[in-house]
Chains A and B, each alone.
Chain A
Amino acid sequence: MPLWPAEGDLMSDHKAPMRVLFPQTVSEAINMASNEPDSIYLAGGTHVFDMDLMDNYAHFPPVVISLANIDELTQMNRSDKAFVIGSRVTIDKLAQITKLHLPTSLQNAISMMGNWPLRCQATIGGHLANKNRIGDLTPLLQLLDTKIEMRYQKKKRGKIISSRFTRKISLTGLREQKDMLPRSMLVTRIRIPVKPWDINQYSKIHINEDPNRILICCILARVDQSTITDFRMAMTDTHTDIKRNSELESTIAGWKIPVSKKEQTILEEGIAEMTKEWSDDSPEKKIALKQVNRFFAKAFI
């Protein structure tokens, strides 16, 4: 296969020219998406156009709805309880505004995402709404009880009953219902609660130095006088799903640090249950347990 395709090859793969639409408001964007069945929304575009030369020409969407002119999607607000961030806010901006108020693990997670120019282009909405891959920040934001506000056109018996129906949904709900949500659905805002966490850990490990094989492990905990009062843990390989064990989390809340041998056994069994879909000798499973042990060792310190 030649390194560079011959011009004829490109022409044969190239479909009809891409059409780009530039809505000025969210309502306009939603209407356009409803009327264009082959369209996609585009904010930063880092997941759409990050292919090599051959793939670029093969996988361009036929219709793109550029969100670049919708100012509402870049607004940011902060209250005592939460950050409310427009979906077009870049990942780099997110790192800047949340530096002092959200767990340091979020900063760590962001710093491990691509390079600085990519983070200046990629948007938080695009990152969370990507159907093909679980975003690096998704498990951590899920643990932080992040909610998504989305708007879409609501129809009943083929008639539009609301052109800007608003709905708030958790990140878990967004992933579980991704195939049932209307095509016109546009993520408009992300709400991240501001709550203090005493210990937080984010790990992103490349398995066998393979850039496409990643394990992300996030742990948050509140500790009061050596007793864990709240504990949350999530893991993902970014391709299948985000693994959590709410029973284990409830069990761990109430433990004292350092954990006893019996509690260590419960922990190992809980992790095994959480990661039962991974084979017993998979490096992901071993690394998952190692990360959790590392957390408890750090908590003890």
Chain B
Amino acid sequence: MIISFHLNGKFITISSDPDKQSVELLKDELDCHSLNHRCQTATCGACMIMINNKIALSCILPAFALKTSKVWTMEGLAKQEGYADILDGYAKAEACPCPVCAPSRALITEYLISQTMEPSQKDIRQAIFAVTCGCMSTKKMENAIRHAIVARRRRLDE
């Protein structure tokens, strides 16, 4: 099946089995090495992507679902202006996620901020628990998100 979609701002056309897992397609054939294929049961969050402005777990997303979509991975996010706000936030909170979950943490932070600049405690917690990795405390993660929001506000106000 020919699948055409936008990946990190670029138009891509690729031939693939329609039932291939998106995480495999993106990681193995399109060099999205930020994705990790760990649990395969949509629980760990390490395969997170953004598709059509929504977060999704690419391990349960078949390749055909990418057709005509706009997909963003960490590789694309890192080139955006807003990424600096996330880095700033994490640095201020002294939060250092491990290499396995860091891309997903950054994506979920970006997604949360894009949804609301005033997330409630519940919103922040649901973002934190979208990625199940024990490398950081919940408190540190929460601080990182809050600092990232402050950084984003500051940059937008300038």
Contact = CB atoms under 8 A, between A and B. Distances in A.
Interface stretch (A112-120, A143-151, A240-248): A112-120
A115 B39 CA distance: 14
Given A17-B17, A53-B40, A56-B21, A45 B130 contact: no
Contacts of A118: 42, 57
Interface in A100-132: 111, 114-118, 120-121
B18 A18 contact: yes
B18 A17 contact: yes
Interface in B103-119: 108
A49 B55 contact: no
B94 interface: no
B150 interface: no
B61 interface: yes
Given A46-B42, A115-B45, A120 B60 contact: no
A120 B56 contact: yes
Contacts of B43: 115
B40 A49 contact: no
Which size class do B's interface residues fall under?
20 to 34
B42 A90 contact: no
A45 B126 contact: no
A22 B64 CA distance: 10
B40 A52 contact: yes
B40 A114 contact: no
Contacts of A49: 21, 60-62
A90 B56 CA distance: 12
Contacts of B149: none
Interface string A247-272: 00000000000000000000000000
B122 interface: yes
Given A20-B64, A52-B40, A117 B57 contact: yes
Given A53-B40, A115-B43, 19 more contacts: A17-B18, A17-B19, A18-B17, A18-B18, A19-B18, A45-B62, A46-B42, A49-B60, A52-B40, A56-B19, A64-B64, A90-B54, A114-B42, A116-B55, A116-B127, A116-B129, A116-B130, A117-B108, A121-B54
8 contacts: A18-B18, A52-B40, A64-B18, A115-B130, A117-B45, A117-B48, A120-B56, A121-B54
